Structure 1
Amino acid sequence: MPHVYILKCNDGSYYVGSTWNLERRLLQHNAGEGAAYTRRRRPVALVWAQEHDRVDSAFAVEKQIQGWSRAKREALIEGRLKDLPVLSEARSRQMGP
């Protein structure tokens, strides 16, 4: 099944990706065979994942989360789903009209 996932890198940053095989992909990231971003920030740890029925929906969620602020990603990771709309509004206000 396709998954979208968030990794916490050794430097404290987050990496968002999607894959068909979550366990294998995590091993690849930690072996230095993953994305260039994670290769320089190992080890990485899986902090959030979501299974999808279709690869296109996993990819769409990946792209959506990649556009989120750190605060919004952390709310998702921590399960504070009710905070997501508020964090979106706060970012919109910061960016201006």
Structure 2
Amino acid sequence: MDKVHTVYMLECKDGSLYTGYTNDFAKRLKVHEDGKGAKYTRGRGPFKVALRKTFSTKEEAMQIEYQIKQLSRSAKLDLIRQEGEPHAYADPKKL
């Protein structure tokens, strides 16, 4: 079975955004929640999944992850509004 490669954005409890890549989203999210994920996310949970995109190849996913990481916060928020999880930023006051 082929792996699903996922690029995701998390909204941290301090309102910051974290972008990452994984081939096992549920496991990676748990690692973040347990405070053992990326150094940036340690102590910044709980998290809200703001965006999740899946790809068939690691290369494509990592290219998109890089592109997202180059965006300004404003552009990331626009991307979340357009393609994000249904609950993400439903309240414009959160922006």
- TM class by shorter chain equals 0.7 to 0.9
Matched, 1:23 2:26: yes
Partner of 1:78: 81
Matched, 1:5 2:5: no
Partner of 1:58: 61
- Which structure has the highest helix share of the two? 1
TM-score by length of structure 1 reads 0.79
| Separation of aligned partners in 1, 2:42 and 2:74 | 24
TM-score by length of structure 2 reads 0.80
Q: CA deviation at 1:40?
A: 2.6
Which runs of 5 or more structure 1 residues have no equivalent in the other structure? Answer: 81-97
Higher gyration radius (CA): 1
Q: Aligned-residue CA RMSD in angstroms?
A: 1.0
Divergent runs of 4+, >4 A: none
Partner of 1:67: 70
| Separation of aligned partners in 2, 1:39 and 1:28 | 10
What is the percent sequence identity of the aligned residues?
36
| Separation of aligned partners in 2, 1:39 and 1:2 | 23
- Number of residues of Structure 1 aligned to a counterpart in Structure 2: 80
